[in-house]
Structure formats: C-alpha cells, structure tokens
C-alpha cells in the first residue's frame, strides 16, 4: 500500500531532493509536475494528490526566496512548464574544487576517497555530478592503506584544542616497501602539538620543540600510529610572529631547517616561478648587473629540499654568502653521488 504524506511537511523535503538531483540552472534542465509525481511514486513510494504537490512546490519556491536559504527555485509557467533549481549552496566550480582536493590527497584510503566524493557530488545535480566526476577521475595519486588516519586527525585536533601532549609511534618506508618504526621503539614519541597543516597531499602535525633552534618539529600524520592524548599540559615554545601564516610560503615539503632572508637571482622569464612559490608580496627587482635577470628577496627555511627546488628551477642564490656557499657544497655532494 502506498504511503500518503500529503498532509505532512515531509513531502517538502522530498521535493527539494528531487529538484536538487534532477534539475540545475542550464536551459531545459527542469522537471514538469507530472515527472515529479512519477519520481515521488517510484523513489519514495508515496501517492500524494496533484494539488498537494503543486502547493508544496509553491511553498518550496517561496522558501527559497528567503535570505540565506542558499537555494533558488524557479517555477516555469505554461502547459509545458515545471520547476527548476537555479542555484544551490555550492556552485559547480566549488564542488569540483572540493572533489579535486579529495582526489589529490595521499592521506586517505581508496574507500574513504570514494565515500567523500560520493557525498560531495550530492551537492550538485546528477548531470553536473557526472561531468565533475568525468573531469576529475583522471587525477590519480597513491592512497594510504591506513584507515586510522582520520581517527588520528581527530585525536590531534582534540589534543590541540585541550592543550595536551600526545604520544605516538612514528614510521618510515624501508627498501622492502614496508612501514617500519622510527627509533624510540620502546618509548615511542611524545609531542606538544599546536597545529595541523595540509601540504602537497599530506597532513602534517606541527609541535613545539625545545630541541631545535626553530622550536618546532613536524610529523606526517599518515606515518603516525597508536596516537593517544596524554594528561599532560603542552609546553609552549616561543615562535616568530605569524609563523603558521608564513609556513607554507617559506618551507619546502614541510621539512624543517633554519630561516634566513636570501636574495635569489634568475632570468626574467622565470619571474612566474618565484611569484607562484612565494606570492606577490615580495621584493622583486631587476638585477643591477644584468637587465635580463631579476633579484627576489624572500625569507625561506634553508634545507636540502630548498636547494633541490633551486636546482630544478634554475635559480641561484646571490646573498648571503654563507647560504650561497652551503648551496654550492650541496651541489658538489650531489654531483659526487651521481658520479659513483
């Protein structure tokens, strides 16, 4: 027996779902009332009368006109008219951006990747979802095998919120493609977390540390296991102003090092490489000894990863001399290694 919800407001939600899934702002992407009635019967197993459906569709269109409703429903008049969802909380471009971010994440498993994308695609119509999936499905990146990453993220965020220390085991990949424990096998690690950031497809926990000159250490979340919140207060360390705000700009691959202000020199054609990496709020000017080259003054975290980026981009260090000398030594060591 068909269920009759014609006298309840529940049908309003069903109508919203039908328009959300089957219509969008494109011309002709609307549903006639007869088609809406058919979907109500087949999908929701209910048989409301036409007057009730018409009234509830009008109510839905009226509700969509309220401020901050996040949607816009249009009634198309005439014998061949119907109803159409013109806008929704997320634009198609915004849904695609979110889907692409999930697809490019290394930190989640294939199962979690599939589940998240299915949820995100429900923010668009079926036609739009199919187009988004088709355009994003080619984005491949290796996925984690560890379902616990999400739970670790929850624990880390809880520890940061509560101002508590964390204990955990830390792992690295060996030559047999196996995750093996990194030192401290008996006691594990203890850290004072204060932030978690996303970089190049991975989540990193950033913790205070009195052991380093920069007072921080970073740990990749997908390499952390047995994460537990301790009943110990976080021991805070002094950090530079706007440290987190500038972290992504000056660090390379989330590897720690020491911060220095350096002058980089390259051909003018490579100005885009500098701006893409450090942003537009940098000092960029023509090199005084060569009109075809530019200098850029930036603050970076000096590390071997930074040197590797310089070499790959074809950019050199002009100042300061000690960092320049260290970079030249890095190049010599790299050349020696490749000549063995």
Q: CATH code at 178?
A: 2.30.30
Q: How many CB atoms are closer than 10 A to CB 256?
A: 17
| Residue 5 forms part of a structural domain | no
> 79 and 98 share a domain?
no
Residues 334 and 247 in one domain: yes
Residue 67 lies in a domain: yes
pLDDT tops 80 at residue 199? no
| Domain assignment present for 96 | yes
Q: How confident is the model at residue 213 (pLDDT cuts 50, 70, 90)?
A: low
Indicate if 41 and 108 belong to the same structural domain: no
Which residues constitute the domain of residue 186?
149-233
Look at residue 256 and tell me whether its pLDDT is greater than 80: no
Domain final residue pick, 87, 103, 126 = 87
Report the SS3 class of residue 318: strand
Does 80 or 231 have the greater pLDDT score? 231
CA distance 112 to 118: 10
Structure-block tokens of residue 305 = 């990863």
Mark whether 49 and 103 lie in a shared domain.
no
Both 210 and 248 in one domain: the answer is no
Point out the least confidently predicted range of 25-34, 61-70, 87-96, 222-231.
61-70
d(Cα 193, Cα 163) in Å, to the nearest integer? 8
Indicate the length of the chain as a whole number.
340
Is residue 214 a part of any domain in this protein?
A: yes
What confidence score (pLDDT) does residue 160 get? 92
Neighbours of 53 (CB within 10 A): 19
| Domain final residue pick, 108, 136, 164 | 136
Using alpha carbons only, give the angle 218, 219, 222 rounded to the nearest 5 degrees: 150
Domains contained in the chain, number: 4
Read off the pLDDT of each residue in 78-91 and give the average, rounded to a whole number. Answer: 85
Q: Is 131 in the same domain as 153? A: no
Please tell me which residue, 251 or 201, carries the higher pLDDT value: 201
- Last-in-domain residue among 233, 262, 280: 233
Assess whether 207 and 249 both reside in one domain.
no
**Residue 16 is assigned to a structural domain of this protein:** yes
Answer whether 193's CB lies under 8 Å from 205's CB: yes
Three-state secondary structure string covering 136-198: HCCCCCCCCCCCCHHHHHHHHHHHHHHCEEEEEEEEEECCCCCEEECCCCCCCEEEEEEEEEE
Does some domain include residue 141? Answer: no
Task: Convert the pLDDT of each residue in 131-187 to its tens digit.
Answer: 888 887 666 666 777 778 888 999 999 999 999 999 999 988 776 667 788 876 667
**Which neighbouring-strand residues pair with 229?**
166
- 249, 315: one domain: yes
Place of tokens 């984690």: 144
What is the chain's mean pLDDT, rounded?
83
Residues 164 and 127 both lie in one domain: no
Q: Is the pLDDT of residue 2 over 60?
A: no
Whether residue 5 is predicted with pLDDT greater than 50 in this model: the reply is no
Say if residue 285 is in the same domain as residue 330: yes
Q: For position 254, which CATH number holds?
A: 3.30.70
What pLDDT score does 315 carry?
Answer: 92
Q: 154 with 111, same domain?
A: no
Nearest to 235 by CA among 209, 213, 217, 197: 209
pLDDT at 1 over 50: no
- Residue 263 reports pLDDT greater than 90: yes
Put simply, whether the predicted model's pTM sits higher than 0.75 gets the answer: no
pLDDT digits (tens, 9 = 90+) for 283-322: 888 888 888 899 999 988 888 888 988 988 899 999 999 9
The DSSP secondary structure of 15-35, one letter per residue, reads: HHHHHHHH--SSTT--B-HHH
Question: Does 73 map to a domain?
Answer: yes
Say if 53 falls within a structural domain: yes
Q: What is the pLDDT of residue 262?
A: 93
225 and 311 co-located in one domain: no
């Amino acid at each position: 027996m068909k269920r009759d919800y014609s006298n309840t407001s529940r049908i309003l939600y069903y109508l919203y779902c039908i328009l959300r899934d089957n219509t969008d702002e494109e011309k002709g992407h609307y549903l006639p009332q007869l088609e809406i009635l058919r979907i109500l019967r087949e999908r929701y197993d209910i048989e409301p009368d036409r007057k009730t459906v018409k009234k509830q569709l009008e109510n839905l269109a009226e509700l969509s006109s309220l401020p901050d409703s996040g949607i816009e429903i249009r009634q198309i008049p005439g014998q061949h008219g119907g109803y159409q969802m013109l806008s929704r909380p997320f634009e198609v471009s915004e849904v695609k951006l979110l889907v692409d971010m999930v697809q490019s994440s290394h930190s989640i498993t294939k199962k979690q990747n599939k589940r998240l994308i299915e949820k995100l695609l429900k923010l668009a119509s079926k036609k739009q979802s199919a187009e988004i999936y088709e355009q994003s499905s080619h984005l491949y990146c290796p996925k984690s095998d560890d379902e616990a990453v999400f739970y670790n993220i929850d624990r880390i965020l809880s520890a940061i919120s509560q101002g508590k220390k964390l204990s955990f085991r830390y792992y690295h990949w060996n030559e047999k493609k196996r995750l093996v424990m990194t030192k401290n096998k008996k006691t594990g690690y203890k850290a004072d977390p204060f932030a978690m950031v996303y970089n190049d497809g991975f989540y990193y926990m950033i913790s205070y540390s009195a052991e380093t000159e920069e007072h921080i250490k970073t740990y990749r979340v997908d390499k952390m296991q047995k994460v537990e919140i301790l009943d110990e207060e976080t021991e805070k360390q002094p950090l530079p102003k706007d440290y987190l705000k500038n972290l992504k700009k000056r660090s390379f691959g989330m590897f720690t090092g020491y911060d220095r202000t350096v002058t980089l020199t390259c051909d003018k054609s490579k100005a885009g490489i500098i701006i893409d990496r450090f942003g537009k709020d940098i000092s960029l000017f023509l090199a005084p000894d060569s009109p075809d080259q530019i200098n850029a003054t930036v603050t970076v975290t000096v590390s071997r990863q930074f040197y590797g980026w310089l070499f790959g981009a074809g950019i050199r260090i002009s100042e300061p001399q000690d960092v320049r000398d260290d970079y030249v030594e890095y190049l010599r060591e790299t050349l020696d290694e490749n000549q063995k």
